[in-house]
Amino acid sequence: MAREKELGRKVIFLLFFAHFILSNEALEMERRHSTAERISGSAGDVLEDNPVGRLKVFVYDLPSKYNKKLVEKDPRCLNHMFAAEIFMHRFLISSPVRTLDPEEADWFYTPVYATCDLTPNGLPLPFKSPRMVRSAIQLISSRWPYWNRTEGADHFFVVPHDFGACFHYQEAKAIERGILPLLRRATLVQTFGQMNHVCLKEGSITIPPYAPPQKMQAHLVPPETPRSIFVYFRGLFYDDSNDPQGGYYARGARASVWENFKNNPLFDISSQHPITYYEDMQRSVFCLCPLGWAPWSPRLVEAVVFGCIPVIIADEIVLPFADAIPWEEIGVFVAEEDVQKLDTILTSIPLEVILRKQRLLANPSMKQAMLFPQPAQAGDAFHQILNGLARKLPHDENVYMRDGEKLLNWTAGPSGDLKPW
């Protein structure tokens, strides 16, 4: 009896999928004959803002041991998902918003490549990062007067670690550490975003992780390619080496995806990455973007760039440039506790809703905002960061310290962070 029910369920799914493919071909035909839909309202206006002329940034000239020499030692840093810190520095050096006169600057930027310390497997080690950042702050506060003037309130730092300036890849330990005390007045530009979390301070700018634009461009398929895969995912479901007991990694959400849908004909999911990974995403309607150790991953960028509707499974996530990109309109949000209902949720979405999400995703400005191209281009992630900084201006008068006033505790934090770097 159970076997008959399972067979019947698969037949129903296959019939639905056949219907979907036929309908999707019609939608593709309509999409090809229509233009990308512009984002209506304030979100679209913000997305297309031009930051030039609205702010000036002074870039501290730090010794190369804080940045360039790290890349020379290990060029892999240029390609991992934390590389935004490197490319943001390179962008600002030649950006028209840069000023060489610190007296006219609205913002001060300290170029520290805190994630460019990699294991043999290419994973960033966060353990030296607090000492490196602390050392850089000691340097700028002793050589220039601007840090001490505000204790960093008009400074920004790019901190693309798993949990930002908490500098640890495991959430429990990141929470225990908290944000590096010396950064608690600065604006943090970070990939990590989760509401009501100690590692996301008020006023932070959440950005997309780095995904190599040229590599993705090289794998584009013809625009008329049909989306014949309903749900797609490639990645870990379990992390046996770091979570041998199971249940902690991804708060069990990825394991639930595998256990519930590994045999579902609508779901093309595997832990193996094929060489056609990028092409497969362009052939898919929905791309799963579940949390891992942190809520975010490059899949979100890849899904948007390749026009695959992102299915976001990460409770209370704060998404990149949320004031500019209408995530509710382009994506699908599924609560972690509802993962076992994924098939019902996704097959219940009306086709006209799917089509509208695809039209919005086809908007070039949407894709551009998620990328850090070399060289920079109008509307890209670099410019969205600058837009976020410009919208914080002018600074409130209370950012400036009164004579003798001190708010930051230079001796706070774990004892290991206080050692010289």
* Residue 323, burial from CB neighbour count under 10 angstroms (0-12, 13-18, 19+): middle
Does pLDDT of 22 surpass 50? no
Q: What is the pLDDT of residue 28?
A: 53
> Both tokens of residue 126?
């966060």
Mean pLDDT, rounded, of the chain? 90
Using the predicted structure, report yes or no on whether residue 46 has a pLDDT greater than 80.
Answer: no
Helices (H) and strands (E) counted in the chain, each on its own, are: 16, 10
CA–CA distance, 329 with 342 (Å, rounded to integer): 18
Between the CA of residue 409 and those of 144, 199, 316, 357, what are the distances in Å?
19, 18, 31, 48
Please write the tens of the pLDDT for every residue from 293-347.
Answer: 899 999 999 999 999 999 999 999 999 999 889 999 999 999 999 999 999 999 9
First to last CA, the chain: 67
341-347, long-range: CB < 8 A, 24+ apart: 342/231, 342/257, 342/260, 342/261, 342/267, 342/311, 343/13, 343/261, 343/264, 343/266, 343/267, 346/230, 346/231, 346/266, 346/286, 346/311, 347/16, 347/266
For the cut 60, the answer to whether the pLDDT of residue 10 exceeds it is no
List, in order of start, the domains of the chain with CATH numbers. Answer: 57-210+384-400+409-417 (no CATH), 213-370 (3.40.50)
For residue 127, give Cα distances in angstroms to 51, 120, 166, 414, 419: 35, 15, 10, 11, 12
- The overall longest dimension of the chain from CA atoms, in Å, is 81
What does the pLDDT average to over 86-108?
A: 98
Residue 20: band (very low, low, confident or very high) from pLDDT cuts 50, 70, 90? low
pLDDT of residue 220: 96
Q: pLDDT tens digits, residue range 284-307? A: 999 999 999 899 999 999 999 999
Q: Output the six-digit token pair for 8.
A: 């019947």
Q: Each residue of 148-194: pLDDT tens digit?
A: 999 999 999 999 999 999 999 889 999 999 999 999 999 999 999 99
Structure tokens at 394: 């002018």
Strands 309-313 and 284-290 come out as: parallel
Number of neighbours of residue 411 by Cβ within 10 angstroms: 7
- In this structure, which amino acid lies at residue 360? L
Segment 56-78 shows an average pLDDT of 97
Distance (Å, whole) CA 258 – CA 239: 13
Q: What is the pTM of this model?
A: 0.90
Write 26-33 long-range contacts (CB < 8 A, 24+). 27/351, 27/354, 27/355, 27/358, 28/224, 28/226, 28/227, 30/355, 31/355, 31/358, 31/359, 31/362, 32/223, 32/224
**Band of residue 45 on the pLDDT scale cut at 50, 70, 90:** low
